[in-house]
Amino acid sequence: MIETSVLRSSDVPALVRLWTQALAGRDDDCGLSVQELKDRVLLHGGEPRAILAIDPKGWIIARSDGRLVGFAHCTVGRFSEDDPETLRGMLRAIILAPDAPEATIRILLRAADAYFRTKSNLANILAFPLEAGYPRLNSGRGALSHDQWLLMDALSQAGYRLTKRWLFYEQRFSGPISEHLPQIPGLKMTWSDSGTEEFTLQAWSGQAAIAFAQFLELPQPDHCQRPLAALLCRLQVLPEFQQRGVGKWLLERGSNHLIARGVSRLLVDAPHEDALFQSHLRRLGFYEQSQRGYAYEKPYA
């Protein structure tokens, strides 16, 4: 028999083992410690691309014969670019033991639905939104991996529909790269550093902001031997300044800052349907990774 309940402090070590099993063989195969699970998962508020509640009532575990076999992370919040009044339900993760009973996914999804029914005025319910990822898992991306077929099928049966598909790109560095200053009158750059792993570069023409780039350095434990990586969270240029080298300049400056900090991999997400952006990435030296990501949505009832 499978039973669900809210996560208790005594369950945390078992949850760490469960999550480490799920990460084995993937890009994030260095495992999690108890403290990392707390700081980088349970108490992570979605920064920098989302603003999410820290709600222990949404930390749902599933047990089979007293053994922890599954976990669902539910919360409410919004994306950084949403109107401040927007409130969305978000299913950030479902993690299963390799030998979890087949019904575990469906039972966790029903428990997630029960959680969201306790909330009011939700615009919608999202499952695995890319922007709500954890900084230590899946390279900061919240999207569901393309190989999770059983979970995809269970989401469909639970009323979710596939709304976004993502392609993942990467660029690798062996040393500092050349920077190319665009020939734009009055061009300057400002720097905003959160003091953590995130920083933003903004380009100006005179008094007008014309472009910005946001980077997130992905943390990993000291014992992990994988190359350090960072995520390009946003790169936006005003239409009248596109094709003039501004975005490339910000990308080069941000990349060199990361390289000086030991980062050798820069990752970026591209909507599946945005062929123009993908073409830009390839021209900038990025190559497509084999992994795909999927995000789901259903109406709030």
Same fold, 2-166+293-298 and 174-263: yes
- At residue 138, the pLDDT reads 82
- At residue 168, the pLDDT reads 95
Domain boundaries, the chain: 2-166+293-298, 174-263
214 has which bridge partners? Answer: 200, 234
Instruction: Return the CATH architecture of domain 2-166+293-298.
Output: 3-Layer(aba) Sandwich (3.40)
Q: What angle do CA 233, 239, 240 make, to 5 degrees?
A: 135
Walk along the chain (301 residues) and give the pLDDT tens digit of each residue: 899 999 999 999 999 999 888 777 565 567 788 998 999 899 999 988 999 999 999 999 999 999 999 999 999 999 999 999 999 999 999 999 989 999 999 999 999 999 999 999 999 999 999 999 998 788 888 999 988 899 999 999 999 999 999 999 999 999 999 999 998 888 999 988 866 688 999 999 988 999 999 999 988 877 777 788 999 999 999 999 988 999 999 999 999 999 999 999 999 999 999 998 899 899 888 999 998 999 999 998 7
- At residue 27, the pLDDT reads 56
Phi, psi (degrees; rounded to nearest 5) at 257: -65, -45
User: Read out DSSP for 269-298?
Assistant: EEETT-HHHHHHHHHTT-EEEEEEEEEEEE
**Contact predicate 300/124, CB 8 Å:** yes
Count each helix (H run) and each strand (E run) in the chain, helices first: 6, 14
Encode pLDDT of 23-71 as tens digits. 775 655 677 889 989 998 999 999 889 999 999 999 999 999 999 999 9
CATH class given for the domain over 174-263: alpha beta
